[in-house]
Amino acid sequence: MPRLIIDTDPGVDDAFALALAARSPEVDLLAVTTVFGNVGLAATTHNALRVLALCGREDVPVAVGAARPLVHPQPREATAAHGADGLSGRAATLPARGRGVEPVDAVTLMAQVLQASPEPVTLVPIGPLTNIALLLAAHPGVKPKIDRLVIMGGGLSGGNCTAAAEFNLWCDPEAARRVLVVEDLPTVLVPIDLTYRCAVDNHWLARLAATGPIGAALDSLTGVYRAHYRESMGFDGTVIHDAVAVAEAIRPGILATTRLPVAVETAFGPARGSVIADRRLTSFADESGARPIDVALDTDLDALRAFILSRLS
């Protein structure tokens, strides 16, 4: 039974990812923690609570994390893609959750849950990595309780928020470098190189909407998000980036990974926030301080889409 902690900045695709975990019977969703990112922390927290309420999950503790990056300010939010409220302007249409946030912060909750867990836990960051960097800095003793990190982020062949950088890593490159390169936990990185290929079309969304109230509600959150992809990608559908990472956390191996040395650029300039993966056949002397991690670069696209649809139904 996968034991998960999801760190999230909902966010339309985060909503699909949270619902995927919340509605998968074999998943033990131990906690959800929130972080700034797509929109501000108050909105991401509000949205996380409401998506869990939509999925009937009052049992899952939610704790509030970082409101800003470790060192430098967040360059900008992603309201153009997710709407001002983070859910295409539809956040208020989701049910309110009776149970509010926990009295402790996200890092404290993650540490408490990890220390109390009898089995190792998979951490699934699907937003900026600030909370994870803080957890590992403040509570290194919990590392034996983390079996792996499954992280949505990075772009090996270019970015989505700049030409070089993907949004999650770009929001806090210092945190991304700490977690991906300096730390030594087993890590699967799920980059946009794969998540874009996993995009779902309007037919898939229509099938989701027809499955029942949860599917219909999730589909109702995609208006601004789909318009963003139509305008920016010429694609009529949506890219549920975060759900691809959660699918791997739920079903290890559903994504095909390749071990690659990666580095993260933290210098200011056109490449800040980018991930550099060394795909040369024989890596030369390591001058970049890169660390070998598992990068997800392929999957059975139809099987993955069917898996996600089946769980959200």
> Which of the listed partners (ligand RIB, Ca ion, none) does 4 bind, with a CB threshold of 5 to 8 Å by partner kind?
none
Of 7, 77, 166, 265, the one binding ligand RIB (CB under 6 A) is: 166
154 binds, among Ca ion, ligand RIB, none (CB under 5 to 8 A by kind): none
Q: What is the 3-state secondary structure (H, E, C) of the chain?
A: CCEEEEEECCCHHHHHHHHHHHCCCCCEEEEEEECCCCCCHHHHHHHHHHHHHHCCCCCCCEEECCCCCCCCCCCCCCHHHHCCCCCCCCHHHCCCCCCCCCCCCHHHHHHHHHHHCCCCEEEEECCCCHHHHHHHHHCHHHHHHEEEEEEECCCCCCCCCCCCCCHHHHHCHHHHHHHHHHCCCCEEEECHHHHCCCCEEHHHHHHHHCCCHHHHHHHHCCHHHHHHHHHHHCCCEECCHHHHHHHHHHCCCCEEEEEEEEEECCCCCCCCCCEEECCCCCCCCCCCCCEEEEEEEEECHHHHHHHHHHHHC
Stretch that binds ligand RIB, among 116-124, 161-169, 220-228, 295-303 (CB under 6 A): 161-169
Q: Which of 160/222 has CB closer to ligand RIB?
A: 160
Which residues from 185-224 bind ligand RIB, rule CB under 6 A?
Answer: 192
User: Per CB under 6 A, does 307 bind ligand RIB?
Assistant: no
* Active-site annotation holds for 241: yes
Name the minimum Å distance from CB 26 to Ca ion. Answer: 23
Query: Could you tell me which residues come within 8 angstroms of residue 87 by beta carbon, excluding any fewer than 6 positions away?
Result: 10, 11, 12, 15, 47, 94, 221
Candidates 9-17, 105-113, 172-180, 227-235: pick the segment binding ligand RIB (CB under 6 A).
9-17
Binding status of residue 166 toward Ca ion by CB under 5 A: no
| 296: Cβ contacts below 8 Å, ≥ 6 apart | 188, 189, 190, 191, 194, 244, 248, 255, 256, 257
| Closer to ligand RIB by Cβ: residue 70 or 192 | 192
What single-letter amino acid sits at 145? K
Are the C-beta atoms of residues 65 and 34 closer than 8 Å to each other?
Answer: yes
Shortest CB 284 distance to ligand RIB, Å = 30
Cα separation of 160 and 72, whole Å?
Answer: 20
Partner whose binding site includes residue 2, from Ca ion, ligand RIB, none (CB under 5 to 8 Å by kind): none
Contact letters (x/-) for ligand RIB, 97-136, by CB under 6 A? -----------------------------xx---------
Contacting ligand RIB within 73-92 (CB under 6 A): 78
Nearer to ligand RIB, 87 or 208 (CB): 87
Using the contact rule CB under 6 A, the part of the chain among 39-47, 113-121, 164-172, 267-275 near ligand RIB is 164-172
> What is the rounded distance in angstroms from the CA atom of residue 227 to the CA atom of residue 231?
6
Can residue 38 be called a binding residue for ligand RIB (CB under 6 A)? Answer: yes
* 107, 113, 126, 263: residue in contact with Ca ion (rule CB under 5 A): 126
Minimal distance, residue 241 CB to ligand RIB, in Å: 4
Does residue 14 interact with Ca ion by CB under 5 A?
Answer: yes
From candidates 13, 77, 248, 294, binder to ligand RIB by CB under 6 A: 13
Positions that interact with ligand RIB (CB under 6 A): 9, 11, 13-14, 37-38, 78, 126-127, 152, 160, 166-168, 192, 241-242
Residues binding Ca ion (CB under 5 A):
9, 11, 14, 126-127, 242
Q: Which residues are catalytic?
A: 241
